[in-house]
Structure 1
Amino acid sequence: MHVAVVGGGVAGAASAIALSRIGAQVTLYEAHEDPAGPVGSFVSLSVNGLRALEALGCLEEVQRAGFPVDRQRMWSGRDRPLGDVPRGRRPGDPLRSVTLMRADLVGALRREAERAGARIVVGRRLSGDPRDPLTGDADLVVGADGIWSATRRALDPACPEPRYAGLYSVSGVTDRPVRPPGDRPQGFNMVFARRGAFIYLPAPGGSLWWSAQVAAPVPPPDLSAVGPAELAELFRTEKTPLAVLRASSAVTAATLLHVLPPVTRRHDGRTVLVGDAAHPVGAGQGASMAIEDAVALARELASARTVPAALAGFDRLRHDRAGKLAKSAAANRDAKTAGPMAARLREIMMPFFFNRFHPKATGWLYDHDPGRLPEVRSS
């Protein structure tokens, strides 16, 4: 079976690994020379994503490229603790969430895809149309080309379009080792601020990786002009974000956040959408869900008699899980854009409920078993 994977990010590279593992002849097409780039934001993988990486055979390499994060702590803008839970796992799970730069994750997956036998073609932008000469002879086309997917538009010209979510994200790294005010312990920290949310976590070497998610009904006219100084003004009433921003002189990534209405046509007899092309979930789960998709798609293709049957089975398998997570992500996003009254209620109520109910509310997500890929068979 000849497979053309469109898109060389996390979803595309993971799909190339998984499909190569079951004996498919895979060509991965990427429009950019380096889809990750030399700089960028960081990404976290919770245990469900790590188990999917284990099924692909590249868990240890990704763990070496990042660092484990044990706890997730939530804070109010006034530095009051709101919650303290295990990061990306149930209590007692021996796996630990891993945080790494997105470029390092994509690089590790692409190297593994090449080792698995996939051919990677860069600098070639596909239209996503099944008649595209670059994919015309493929038995299967995997659309892994993100939220602005050309494959999705070719599959369904009437498909929904992304819209601005009322948030933009700017990420960076402190220039020097810095200790946040209050000598807070290590871990993933999220501050619910007046103008959005501010995330930071200590990285090896003593610097802090940070991401400001700014609530703005209208996006800035020039996102590239938003740097630490501009963010410091936006977060001037929050002591901890302000201290982190003052220790930084540049940003590594900036992007407008978008949402996408549910995609109703995610496959046909030959083409299938995976990752953000099918379900941009957010909530720190985009990469993990894309890797889960890759494993699930390969398993269905290995067991089904025909490609159309495999794609239908894959869609049934993934639809409810992705939809449930999308609802959780919407609630997460709404919390970051809440007004001052909602923020005050959160400060009062969250310390009593968050730690108690978080494990039950997220267990369905972290307990997911992606299964193992079958032994390589001839294509």
Structure 2
Amino acid sequence: MIGAGVAGSASAIALRRIGAEVTVYEAYPDPAGPVGAFLSLAVNGLRALDSLGCLEAVRAVGFEVDRQLMWSGRGRRLGDVPRGRAADDPLRSVTLRRADLVAALRAEAVRRGARIVVDERLGGPDGGAGPADEAVAGADLVVGADGLRSTVRRMLDPAGPQPAYAGLYGVAGVARAVPEAGPGRTFNMTFGRRGAFAHLPAPDGTVWWSAQIADPVAPAEIKLGAEELAELFAAEEVPRRILGATERIDAATLFHVLPPVPRRQDGRCVLVGDAAHPVGAGQGASIALEDAIALARALRAEPDRPTALAAFDRERADRAGKLARTAATNRSAKTAGPLASLVREAVMPLVFTRVYSRSTDWLYDYRPGALPQ
């Protein structure tokens, strides 16, 4: 296994559940460290966690969110839908810090008997062969769970597609409670003039927020603080007030897109998670969890490894591709110009809530299946 983030740790658990010997090589000293900010798991991701045996551990370090509200920059409500679930689903979406999710998954992987080796990357420290390269050369199965800039993906197809800037960059942080943030257990998305602003009140009284700024040119470095962000969202009252109460900034990142990857497995190596299909739309972690279970089930059902990997690839490609198209639509909404924004404000209240169920039930109704105990 290459990569001990969400996809790698989940795959390690799933493969141990079917009896495989698993060693995970991670490039960073602490893959559960403070990388990124918060993320949300929709109910399809929670069902995958349940199959892995980690649902309660993850719930314990996050909090449930019931509703998702969509707002115009002028404060007009554009939509009100269940957050990450069908309306009649008893499960509730869970929001938590990425580091806490990775830590919970890693702990379960180790408890199940996986070996995790940190601070080891393919190519070694000077580009030569290191322990990870030797392990890859001798492994029966190599799982590339090493993210958007996957080294394993380049091994499979050196001429394959590369990530490109998506026209958005993001900054995330934590603010003090402000009355304008609204009630708890609610995720809010405001479509502003310069981008989108998400926030949700946390149980500890703080407000977790994420600003996604539209810019056709990728900044060389993201240096924006809360004051500069408040200026960018000066026309949107609620985001401006939350940014004005900010206590700390947790993450800043460029968003990227990746064209469809034509070669995701070769009979011995296989890609999972963002290495295979960075889907976006708030589903990156959930799809990685699904991948882990689907891979283990395919390998258990079919003794011939190349046949099993081909079956896994076919099963996951259609679902991930459909979600990637949804993510592209979401990105377009966040980078819309003034005219498109006016059209959205006029039309969205009339249609969004009505069509939401029809457009998302296929995603949230997914059942990953069971794994052996």
Q: TM-score range by the shorter chain?
A: over 0.9
One-letter code aligned to 1:363: D
Which ranges of 4 or more aligned residues in structure 1 deviate by more than 6 Å?
A: 128-131
Corresponding letter in the other structure for 1:341: L
Aligned to 2:192: 193
Partner of 2:178: 178
Q: How far apart are residue 374 of structure 1 and its match?
A: 3.0
SS at match of 2:133: coil
Query: Percent identity among equivalent residues?
Result: 64
CA contact (8 A) 1:72 1:85 kept: yes
Count residues with an aligned counterpart. 368
- The CA distance in 1 between the partners of 2:137 and 2:184, in whole Å, is 54
TM-score when normalising by structure 1? 0.95
Amino acid of the structure 2 residue aligned with 1:205 = D
3-state DSSP of counterpart to 2:99: helix
Give the alignment of 1:303-322 within 5 angstroms. Answer: 303-322=301-320
| Contact map agreement 1:169 1:255 (CA 8 A) in 2 | yes
By how many angstroms is 1:7 displaced? 0.6
Residues 118-152 of structure 1: CA deviation (Å, up to 9, x unaligned) = 00000101149999213222100000000000000
User: What is residue 73 of structure 1 aligned with on the other side?
Assistant: 69
Amino acid at match of 1:178: V
User: Aligned-pair distance for 1:184?
Assistant: 5.2
Partner-residue secondary structure (3-state), 1:28:
strand
Structure 2 counterpart of 1:123: 119
CA contact (8 A) 2:184 2:202 kept: no
Q: Secondary structure at the match of 1:167?
A: strand
User: What residue is the counterpart of 1:297 in the other structure?
Assistant: 295
Of residues 34, 39, 58 in structure 2, which corresponds to 1:38? Answer: 34
- Please give the TM-score of this superposition, normalised by the length of structure 2: 0.96
Contact 1:155 1:265 in 2 (8 A): yes
Contact 1:302 1:374 in 2 (8 A): no
1:141 aligns with 2:142: yes
Judging changes above 3 Å, is the alpha-carbon distance between structure 1 residues 21 and 131 closer, same or farther for their aligned structure 2 residues?
closer
Deviation of the 1:250 alpha carbon = 2.8
Which residue matches 2:79? 83
Partner of 2:225: 227
Structure 2 residue 164 is matched with structure 1 residue 166: no
SS at match of 2:330: helix
RMSD of aligned Cα (Å): 1.5
- 1:229 to partner: Cα distance: 1.1
Instruction: Name the residue aligned to 2:153.
Output: 152
Q: Is the 8 A contact 1:11 1:144 kept in 2?
A: yes
Q: Which runs of no fewer than 5 residues in structure 2 stay unpaired?
A: none
Structure 1 segment 1-379 matched on structure 2, within 5 A? 5-38=1-34, 40-127=36-123, 132-174=133-175, 176-180=176-180, 183=182, 186-223=185-222, 225-375=223-373
Q: Hey, what's the Cα distance between the residues in 2 that align with 1:10 and 1:108?
A: 10
| Contact 2:184/2:201 (8 A) holds in 1 | no
Q: Name the CA distance, whole Å, in 1 between partners of 2:300 and 2:364.
A: 25
Structure 1: gaps spanning 5 or more residues: none
Return the alpha-carbon distance in structure 2 between the equivalents of residues 305 and 22 of structure 1. 12
What is the CA-CA distance between 1:28 and the residue it aligns to? 0.7
| Amino acid corresponding to residue 114 of structure 2 in structure 1 | A
Rounded Cα–Cα distance in structure 2 between residues aligned with 1:38 and 1:165:
24
